[in-house]
Structure 1
Amino acid sequence: MSRPLDGVTVVVTRERPGTLASQLREAGADVVHVPLIERRPTVDGPDVLAAALAGLGGGDWLVVTSPAGARAVFESVDELGDVSIACVGEATADAVRTNGRDVALVPRVAQLDGLLDEFPSGTGQVVLARADIADPRLVTGLEALGWAVDDVVAYATVERAPSVDEVDRAVRGDVVTLASGSAARAWARAVGAGASPAIVSIGPSTTSQAQRSGLRVTATATDQSVDGIVAAVVDAVTAAGSASA
């Protein structure tokens, strides 16, 4: 039985290929992994994060916006107390569950506004474990709901320059997936706007950054998740096949 991505080469640019690569392969794709970003702990991030988490109690929340943030949390503490956990996206939630914790909230729309729309009002404490380049509106949005927010930069996102061999393999692909604005900028610098792979973005903010970097985005996922970007890749490939038929 044919699969929607049989014969299609998809370039995955996130730091860890993970479930995105496995789902693309299940759909029939040949996956090429060319990481364009790296996440590194900040100098005092683990200590600051551990101290912030130690102050949480019942009724308080931990908000994690990425799998890297989840890893930073569980690398900084041996035990996490009685705290509710909210995650942006199922990949982030899975990273929390892998460490034996339940997730109380995963918004239906896997983005900042989706989290704020579903997050409860309250007067307790929220620890936000985020990247250095995260959108500051999340802090102000949580504060507007009544929470005292401990905003912790848990890790830094840096662009990674791919090797000549990696660039050569990437430009031979049919589709490249971009899961962050940082990856979009790195792709533009490493490969340029004239490269042949169709570009599929995980969401509007990544698409906007890609366009500002001179890239033409073929498709933008409507759901900012692994499932969403795989669906967008399938839609883009199907549309291209129909156009050439």
Structure 2
Amino acid sequence: MSTAMGGPRVAVLRSEDRAAPLAHALVEAGAVPVLCPLIANELPADPEQRVFLAEQLAALAEGHFAWVAFTSVSTVRALVAIAGEAGEGQDTALKVSAVTKVAAVGKATARALEAAGVTVDLLPHAEHSARGLLAEWPVPEDTAFAAVLLPAADLAAPTLRDGLLERGWRPVDLMAYRTVDAPGDPELLLSVPVPGQPAVAAPSGLERLSPAELAAALAAGTLDAAILTSPSTARRVAVLLDGRESATGFIAIGPRTAKEALAHGLRVDAVAKTTDPAGLAGALAAREAAERKQP
């Protein structure tokens, strides 16, 4: 379906603070983004949890961990925010000891870490996911120094933790932020910008939908595609559809999100090869090209 602007209408369901770069990438690919944030990211509300986070960051800086793994850009942002609260400065305050190796799940996460002054030692080549990290993770050389810090969202899957346990590592879970339904609590929202990425506004004049309007559009097929950037977003879409079938196909950011979408009856038309905005826009473009070739 084409619009007055000439391109497919694509729903961007990412949180408000992360939607703009993806919207720009879609515009560059010839699509017309439609904004409807379904989830938001919040820092922990419990003061004791914030203190615990700061203590774990201090331990990370002091070399108490053999590895630390970052599985999203949001995790980097959350730890930068907590480090700033702890009085260690702002934006580039995330400190990792020289004895600790750093793993990043994908290129966007690696770029955010490096912009924050953190060197990345492991970036999976084949698959940018927890499975991809595990496929390339080494075995521990010293079981006495085998602790791995795993900062992540409250809804993070245990894939990486369980795999590391099987390989003889000692994973330490750390809840860095919470995933909630949008719009979230303004006092707790994760508002720290992505390190190294200037704050950008979404393209002007974009259409916005409420969650109810989104569900109706998906069911009616008046959108050409919707982009799922996390398993929690897929679950939220399924709740909004409330048993209705979506006539609109979905683009998934990675295999885990695609699996979650399929488990909830959502049709996945494409899975991005990389998790950055360019990768998502490329997956949409590839789907559009494949559809044009069909008789």
1:75 is aligned to 81
1:183 pairs with 2:233: yes
1:50 pairs with 2:54: yes
Is the partner of 1:208 in helix, strand or coil? helix
Structure 1 CA distance for aligned equivalents of residues 57 and 168 of structure 2: 19
> Residue 21 of structure 2 is aligned with which of 19, 22, 34?
19
1:214 pairs with 2:231: no
Counting matched residue pairs gives: 240
The letter for the 2-side match of 1:25 is: V
> Residue 166 of structure 2 is aligned with which of 144, 155, 162?
144
1:84 is aligned to 101
Structure 2 CA distance for aligned equivalents of residues 113 and 195 of structure 1: 29
Tell me: CA distance 1:29–1:127, structure 2 relative to 1, closer, same or farther (3 Å). same
Tell me: CA distance 1:27–1:182, structure 2 relative to 1, closer, same or farther (3 Å). same
1:236 is aligned to 287
Tell me: CA distance 1:220–1:163, structure 2 relative to 1, closer, same or farther (3 Å). closer
Report how far residue 99 of structure 1 moved.
2.2
1:101-138 deviation digits (Å, cap 9, x = unpaired) = 23222212101111112223334332110111112131
Is the partner of 1:229 in helix, strand or coil? helix
1:114 pairs with 2:118: no
8 Å Cα contact 1:90-1:106 kept in structure 2: yes
Structure 2 CA distance for aligned equivalents of residues 49 and 121 of structure 1: 27
8 Å Cα contact 1:53-1:127 kept in structure 2: no
8 Å Cα contact 1:45-1:155 kept in structure 2: no
8 Å Cα contact 2:215-2:240 kept in structure 1: yes
Structure 2 CA distance for aligned equivalents of residues 6 and 28 of structure 1: 8
1:127 is aligned to 149
1:173 pairs with 2:223: yes
Structure 2 CA distance for aligned equivalents of residues 182 and 115 of structure 1: 21
TM-score (ref. length: structure 2): 0.71
8 Å Cα contact 1:50-1:76 kept in structure 2: yes
Report how far residue 159 of structure 1 moved.
3.1
Report how far residue 165 of structure 1 moved.
5.3
1:205 pairs with 2:256: yes
> Residue 112 of structure 2 is aligned with which of 85, 95, 101?
95
1:29 is aligned to 31
Consecutive unaligned residues of structure 1, counting only runs of 5 or more, are none
8 Å Cα contact 1:91-1:226 kept in structure 2: no
2:68 is aligned to 62
1:155-182 deviation digits (Å, cap 9, x = unpaired) = 1212338444565677643111111121
The two structures, once aligned, show a CA RMSD in angstroms of 2.7
8 Å Cα contact 2:251-2:269 kept in structure 1: yes
8 Å Cα contact 1:218-1:236 kept in structure 2: yes
> Residue 179 of structure 2 is aligned with which of 149, 157, 164?
157
TM-score (ref. length: structure 1): 0.84
Q: Percent identity?
A: 33
Report how far residue 66 of structure 1 moved.
0.9
Tell me: CA distance 1:166–1:91, structure 2 relative to 1, closer, same or farther (3 Å). same
Structure 2 CA distance for aligned equivalents of residues 6 and 205 of structure 1: 32
The letter for the 1-side match of 2:151 is: A
Tell me: CA distance 1:94–1:7, structure 2 relative to 1, closer, same or farther (3 Å). same
